[in-house]
Every structure is written in structure tokens, then in C-alpha cells.
Chains A and B, each alone.
Chain A
């Protein structure tokens, strides 16, 4: 491995006297000329670790050396030689691109003589040259991220610390950022990249895997992945319901983890487990078990001892919905204009009962606008949104009673306790008396909220926040559930538990509409609408979208590759105007 730029030894950080430490006895090195991934779910201690390295926090115990100096006593000397991009990118949104660069150039003491050349190089590198006078606040998420990187890069740092640079950024921008960071590492800079996306780990040279403040793995990502070599399979050629196949598989002894991947089901077997019993999965006569190369996430689940089971207690206690022949959710020529800007143009689709329908698209493509019109949060400029046959515009009250809604921010009242949130949401959805009491007790039981009932929602661990938000959204047994990036920042195990509930509810006839940036979650969808520049550019099952993007160069595209190819194709067919 290359020489270390930073070393930490037995590093422990506590906030407050009680509770577990945010970082517990971490010992690791960050080498030069490599991308080191600081990987872990939310709350693993990634941000704490980066802030300690940047000298912005002082450790409770342990030693740190960054570029040969101590961040506690010599922070200034370190600040002059590192680049640091915090979450939210550290940009002044009311300053333009070039004004942000000028500010960072001055505060980082870039000599005036070097300024023009540095700006030209960074603007070219990030592709921001055409947008120098645009205010940072008006840039898309991906462009903000690139500008943030440019500002951190002004003095060509020896060590670059990036705190979750890819959160909320679409797959296309994420790829471009990776290309840039890779170039920096090749140039000899040490990069520390923190992320909760496990698929990004595979692109790193070196990985530090954190969970709840503990270092679980330190080494090349391939070394971790090889743990599960020969234990990962896909069930292909499934006839019938793949969700039921997954449920049965997760119930089988010796299967650690399982997810849906388009029309296939991916399974990870435990070490020394008996062979998977394909017959018991009832996947149909054509079904076959195919060994596939392992992913980082498979190995991560293996280290943690596997995912949750496949049976949803939530779904089991739900009344099955009366079957309906017609579409449960329908968009008819939805259009939304904000002034001169058309955020969504003539969008139509129909969702059948018991279908999981995904809305995907780059940041600012009109995905959220469409989503908000569908659940009645935004009034369309033209067109109609229907839920259960009811127009949201005409009978909003009746239509909304059939909707459950859960957003990225978990739409909880932060200052109310867990129980008070449950009581409040059951009240506004019109539950009363014994039914209300039973619903609340049921949710507490299913989501294991018991120990947290008195805690205010703001102080709950993220995983519990997400559970509580889901509980609040489904207590009234809605016919349709709208999920807006429901698993952002949540660890893989909690996400699997979440999907177990979703799959269970779908089998009971609940209809789901979801937006997500996680491509592996998009694989759970029955159909996906890809939204780009305000319009639906492709619609179909995950596998149909992959087929559409199939070329001789990429004979077997992943969903992410399909997404990127379809967006690129749309750009070729209709080049973006100056306004885009």
C-alpha cells in the first residue's frame, strides 16, 4: 500500500457522557494516491471520523496524525494542506460559481498569479465553465457537488476529505464525480470518500467499513467480497410471483439474505449451509439456480450475520384489499408550470392494483413534481391525477383518505414523542375508539417501538424514525402508499426489513408508488417510469428498460447503466436547449 497521509490509533469519540461512543477505538491509515472509501450506514461514525481528521472536533481518546501533524494542536497547518467538502458541499448559494471560487481562492491563500490558470483548470475539469455567472443555489445537485469539489481543490490539497458527496445526487452525476476523483487519486492525492451507498465501495481502492462506531473491515473491497465467493445465486426463470418466491426463500434455513433483482431473485447462502432447496421455493418448472459473482453488499450482510426474515407482520394483520379491475392510480396528461418553466409536461401512466411503480430520474428532472401532483401536494397546471377512481382536484378529502404518504424527511413531528406521533396520525386519518387503540398497539408491536415510545421523534435513531414514519403512513390501511425516497441514508438491514413490509402489503393488494436513487431498490419495482427534463422518456419493467438499453458494447447492462444510456439517448434525440 502507498505511504500513509493520515493515521489514527485507538481513536474514540464520545458526545455526552452516556450512550455508546460515535467512534470506538478506530485504528486505520489513509494512503496517498488512492481512493479510500469510508463506508457504512447512517450513524456509523463516518462524519465524526472526517471532522476529527479535519481538526474540527477533538477526540475523547486516541491519537491522530494528519500530514505529519496533530489536528488538535496544529489545525491551521493542516487546513492549509487539505481539501474538505462537508455535506451540503459548503457553498454560498447566493454567490455565483466564479464568486465562490474567488472566495475560496482568497481564504486559501492562492497566489493571485496562479488564479486565472487554476480557475480555468478547475472549471474545465468540472465542466462548469459555461455556468460561471450562475448562482450556486440555482445549480442542480450534481453541479453543486462538482463546484464544492472545485472549491475544496483550489490549492491542490495533499489529502481530500469528502463527506457523503453523492447523497441526493443522481447516477449520472455520481459517475462524473467518480471519474474526477479517480483522476485526482492517480495524480497522487489521497482521497477519503464517505458514503452509505455500498455499491460505491466496489469502486474504491481501499475500504474502511464502519458500523455503529466499530471498524468491521479494513482492506481492498475485493478481499471482503471474496468472503461470499460461491455463496451467491440468482433464481432465474421464475414463473408466478417473485415476491412470494423471495418470502419462501428467506424462510429457508441457511439463506442469509435475499433481494429482488428485476425478474430474478438474488440469494446469499450462509457458510457451510446445505444446498438451496429450489423445489421448496415453488418458482415454477423453468426455474434455475445460477451462481453469480458476489457484490460488496452481499459480503456486508454476511459480516453482519444476515438480513431479517421475509415475513411481514404488518402485512399479515392487514385486511386484504378488494380486487379492482381498473387502474388504482392514474396520471392523465399531467403538466406543471412554474412561471415560464415547465417542470412536468404531459405525463400519463396508469398503475394497477398491487403493483410497485417507481419514478426514477436525475435531480431536477421533474420526478418530485410529478410525485407531488399524484399525492395531491401540488396542483397540476393541466391534466388530472386520480386515486382509486377519485380525482384529487375534485374530491381531495375522499381521495386522500385512501392514501398513505411517507417522505424522505419522514414527515414526523420531531418534538412529539413516538407515541404522540402515532396518536396524532391515527387521529388525522379518522381512526377513533377501539379501532384507533388497536391500530396504535399493533404498530408498536410490529415495529418494536416499545422501548422508544416516550422518546421524541427527533432523537430516535434513523432506522426507528423510518419505522415510525412507515407506521404512521399505514395505520389507516390505505389503498395506495406513496413513498418519496423512503430509505435515504438508512442501513441495508433496515432497508431489507422495510422492503419485506412493502412486499407483504403488495401481496395484500396495496398499490405502491415510490421514488428512489438506489438502483437496487428500483429492481423491486414491477414497472418504472424514467422521468427526464419534465417528461417520461421510458416506461416498463426493470428488465424491459435494460433490454431497451442493450447494445453490442454492453450486452448485459445493469439498471444504472440502462438509466444512463436512456438519458443519453434522450439527449441525442432532443439536444438540451439553453434553458435546461
Chain B
């Protein structure tokens, strides 16, 4: 191979940059897709449920029962439709208009006074929507406990419970799931964007016959790949900052790290994502196959194995090992650290090392597969 030349490298970079500017699909993937994906993941992946539609059958008309009913109506977690009889709600429950039913029976005031009945009312939840059903039960118990506490206080007695649990959560005090999900989602989105950006670029040259012309010039494969990589790297980093901007401005997720640390971490990650795209591109000679491969090999493993939703530590051991081959796993971890904790370099460094190793493997394989001949 002839000695690498800065001039040839610059020429390839200039060519790729012009192609990016003129190709609507690059702009679409690099600038529109990040906005779209971030908004989509922000609005769709909220695990906190509010305004669960429930029925409330108030069959007891004592002041205590009405007071408890008022507590249910007051909380933002429930949208309460009130009635005097549990049978009124059967149809709505069957249709799925209501996720559950709270019954305050006629026996309520009597049982309230008795020591052997702990909960004198009934909660019915729709088990076909397990997540919501669990929330409903937990929230209902929360309303009940708060009501009991207040009642005890009003009566001047101390709480009856011998031990009192006072949970405190670190880093995400409000336990707003979006605060940990959106940074993870950003990693997934950028995995897809990075791979799609470069998956098409080599395949495109084969399809249009320009690769054959380039192979008959003194351009080396290293110049070719690096010249393609750098412009797309810049576009990928722009996509990253777009994702960040929307996450902060639209969804008000706190960001406790520094922009510098984010840029450093994201650079390493972007190399691995673009590297995957280049590898796909060098293995397939058609743009169609390359784009399909990018979506399947980049997006799906990142979604399931990155720890974005599902914790790798709770996976079976072989799957957990597999997840270590996914750059997004390290990036999810870095992003959660940067958003929720801050510049904890002790945590960031090992993750960056993982991403760098994956990127190096991608580039080595790509170079190996970039033939200087057509056979």
C-alpha cells in the first residue's frame, strides 16, 4: 500500500461532506431522526402512571367512609367515578373503561373499629394489565395508609405501627422513571443513528460503481475509511447534542454532569456506533441489505441488552456476558451517571474502555473486509 497522504484524506473527507449536505437521507438520519426518536421515546416510555380510571363504590355513608372516599378522589393518581353500589361498575370493568374498583362496603365503619380486621375495604384490579394493576393496588394502599395516619394524628394518638419505614432514594429522588429512561433511550437512539449513517456509505459506492473507479486510483483503504468516518462523526455528534437538547428542554430531565464529559464519552461511543455501520457496509454491496442489517444488528441488541429497561445484572450469565459486547450497554451506564450523578470519572472510565475496545474491533474487521480487489 502506498504511504497514507493527508491530501487524499482531505479530498475524500471533502467529498463525503458534500455528499452529506446534498443527500436528503443523511440529513434525515442525522438531524431529523434524533428529534423524532427522542420525542417519541420521551412521550411513550413513561413508566409512571397517573390518572388511573377506577370506580369507587361508596356503600357506607358514615362520615369516616365519605372522608376516605374524598382521599381517593383527591389524589392525582386516580380518576375516580363514584357510585353507591359495586354492581353499577360491572359493565365498565368488563369493557375495560375502568382499570379497577374500590369498594367501601356497608360494614366499613363497623370493621374500622375492630382490631382483627386490618383493611375494612376491597380493591379489585384488572389483572390483564399487570403493570397498572400493581400500581393500582400499591397506590390504593398508600391512600389508605395516609388516611389512617392522618386520622390517628387528628385523634391525638400516636401511630399504631411499631416501626416506621422512611424510604430515601438517592440520585433520582423523585423516582421519576423518565429521568433514568430518557438518558438510556438516548443511547439506543444514537446506536441506531450512528449505524444507519455509515451503513449506507460504502454500499452506496459499490452500487453506483464509484468504488471500482476509486480502487484503480492510489487511494488506500485506510484513507477511504477514515475520510468517510470523520464527516459522519461530526454529524453523529450533532445528533447527540440534539438529543440532549430535547431531553433537557422538553422533558426537563436533570443533567448533573458536564458537557465536556458528555462530549468525551459520546465521542468514544460514536466511534463504536459508526464503526458498526462501516462494518455492515463493507460486508454488503447493496444499500437495501445494509440498512436492514443496521436496524437489526444495532437497534435490537441495544434495546434488549443495554440495560436501558432491563438490568443486565438480572439476566442469565451467558446473556449478561453477551451484553458486554454491546457498546450501548456502556453508554447507557455512562449517560445515567452523567444525568443523575455527575462527572463520576471513576465510573465513566471503565465504560469508556469497553466502548473503545468494541470500536477497535469494528474498525479492525472493517479494514480486513475492505478488499483492494473485486473478487
Contacts and interface: CB of A to CB of B under 8 A. Distances in A.
A239 interface: no
A104 B7 CA distance: 11
B15 A56 contact: no
Contact of B2 (A76, A86, A92): A76
A54 to B, nearest CB: 5
B215 interface: yes
B218 A58 contact: no
Given A90-B209, A94-B18, A94-B23, A107 B374 contact: no
B373 A103 contact: no
B19 A95 contact: yes
A108 B218 contact: yes
Given A57-B374, A57-B375, A93 B12 contact: no
B11 A107 contact: yes
Given A75-B372, A95-B18, A109 B213 contact: no
Given A58-B375, A95-B15, A107 B216 contact: no
Interface residues of A, number: 35
A551 interface: no
A109 B5 contact: yes
Nearest to B211: A90
Contacts of B209: 86-90
A103 B218 CA distance: 12
B8 A109 contact: yes
Contacts of B217: 79, 104, 107-108
B293 interface: no
A103 B15 contact: yes
A94 B22 CA distance: 7
B219 interface: yes
A75 B19 CA distance: 28
Chain B contact surface mostly:
helix
B23 A56 contact: no
Given A57-B374, A58-B373, A86-B209, A102 B216 contact: no
A158 to B, nearest CB: 14
Tell me if A's interface is mostly helix, strand, loop or mixed. Answer: loop
Nearest to A56: B374
Interface in B5-63: 5, 7-8, 10-12, 14-15, 18-19, 22-23
Contacts of B212: 56, 86, 90
A151 interface: yes
Interface in B167-223: 208-210, 212-219
A99 B1 CA distance: 26
A462 B101 CA distance: 73
Interface in B132-152: none
B213 A84 contact: yes
A91 B210 contact: yes
A480 B242 CA distance: 58
A93 B208 contact: yes
Nearest to B213: A90
B19 A76 contact: no
Contacts of A80: 2, 218
Contacts of A76: 1-2, 218
A288 interface: no
A169 interface: no
Contacts of B372: 75
Contacts of B213: 84-86, 89-91, 151-152
A86 B216 CA distance: 9
Most-contacted residue by chain B among A109, A135, A152 (CB, 10 A): A109
A350 to B, nearest CB: 41
B7, B218, B219: most-surrounded residue (chain A CB, <10 A): B218
A15 B372 CA distance: 17
B268 to A, nearest CB: 30
Contacts, number: 85
Contacts of A85: 213
Given A88-B209, A92-B210, A106 B215 contact: no
Given A88-B208, A94-B18, A95-B15, A106 B216 contact: no
Nearest to A154: B217
A78 to B, nearest CB: 9
Nearest to A80: B218
A51 B7 contact: no
A492 interface: no
Contacts of B15: 92, 95, 99, 103
A93 B18 CA distance: 11
A103 B374 CA distance: 22
Interface string A355-389: 00000000000000000000000000000000000
Contacts of A95: 15, 18-19
Contact of A84 (B19, B23, B216): B216
Contacts of B2: 76, 80
A55 interface: yes
B219 A51 contact: no
B1 A106 contact: no
Contacts of A151: 213
A57 B218 contact: no
B371 to A, nearest CB: 9
Nearest to A85: B213
A135 B210 CA distance: 15
A82 interface: yes
Contacts of B8: 106-107, 109
A445 B322 CA distance: 57
B216 A79 contact: yes
User: Could you say which of B8, B14, B216 has the most chain A C-beta atoms within 10 Å of its C-beta?
Assistant: B216
A329 to B, nearest CB: 37
B210 A107 contact: no
A103 B216 contact: no
Given A93-B208, A102-B11, A54 B218 contact: no
A152 B216 CA distance: 10
Interface string A398-422: 0000000000000000000000000
A79 B2 CA distance: 10
A54 B14 CA distance: 26
Contacts of B14: 102-103
Interface in A43-81: 51, 54-58, 75-76, 79-80
Q: Which of B1, B23, B372 has the most CB of A within 10 A?
A: B372
B292 to A, nearest CB: 17
A90 B216 CA distance: 10
Contacts of B19: 92, 94-95
B12 A107 contact: yes
Contacts of A58: 373, 375
B374 A106 contact: no
B10 to A, nearest CB: 7
Given A55-B373, A58-B375, A94-B18, A107 B218 contact: yes
Contacts of A75: 372
Nearest to B2: A76
A-B pairs with the 5 shortest C-beta distances? A90-B213, A106-B11, A88-B209, A84-B216, A86-B212
30 contacts: A51-B374, A54-B216, A55-B216, A55-B373, A56-B373, A56-B374, A57-B373, A57-B374, A79-B218, A82-B216, A85-B213, A87-B209, A89-B213, A91-B213, A92-B15, A94-B18, A95-B15, A95-B18, A95-B19, A99-B15, A103-B12, A103-B14, A104-B217, A106-B11, A107-B8, A107-B12, A107-B219, A108-B217, A108-B218, A109-B8
Interface of B: 1-2, 5, 7-8, 10-12, 14-15, 18-19, 22-23, 208-210, 212-219, 372-375
Interface of A: 15, 51, 54-58, 75-76, 79-80, 82, 84-95, 99, 102-104, 106-109, 135, 151-152
Given A57-B375, A88-B208, A94-B23, 11 more contacts: A55-B216, A56-B374, A75-B372, A79-B217, A94-B19, A102-B14, A106-B10, A107-B12, A109-B8, A109-B218, A135-B22
